[in-house]
Amino acid sequence: MHLYIITRGCKHEVDRFVNELSAKYLPYEYDNTKPKGVVQVGVRPIQLYEIAFPEEHLEKMLATIKPSLFHKWEAKFMFVLRKILKSKPIPKISDDVLPMPIYKDNIEIAGIGIKKDAYKDGIEQI
């Protein structure tokens, strides 16, 4: 059985929740000819992040993160998430924009959308 949730909170509090949940074990029948054993609860992160930065650096951030969609069905899901988050589609950027160096091997990064900040007295309210 798989239960999908989205968490929101201070990172150290969410980490504690994940760590404590991962430390739980439940009875599990591995083989119907043997007594039940136990299996560790598997907490596998599928994480939703909001990354805040000055608007003037949008292209640099997109070049660095390179968010994309990996499956056609994701487009519908991302459309719904984008509406929930009141955001707009991620724009295409020039291939000439240099990314910042960052480790992102073995990570799938799907893009949902962007949302502009409000401005007060000409200052972006990140």
Domain ranges of the chain: 1-47, 53-126
Q: Are 89 and 58 in contact (CB under 8 A)?
A: no
Q: Are 112 and 85 in contact (CB under 8 A)?
A: yes
Structure tokens at 116: 């502009």
| Alpha helices by DSSP H, 23-92 | 58-65, 72-84
Residue range 23-36: average pLDDT? 86
Question: What pLDDT score does 107 carry?
Answer: 81
Q: Are 115 and 85 in contact (CB under 8 A)?
A: yes
Residue 120: helix, strand or coil by DSSP? Answer: strand
pLDDT tens figures, 70-80: 778 888 888 99
Sign of CA dihedral 97, 101, 111, 11: negative
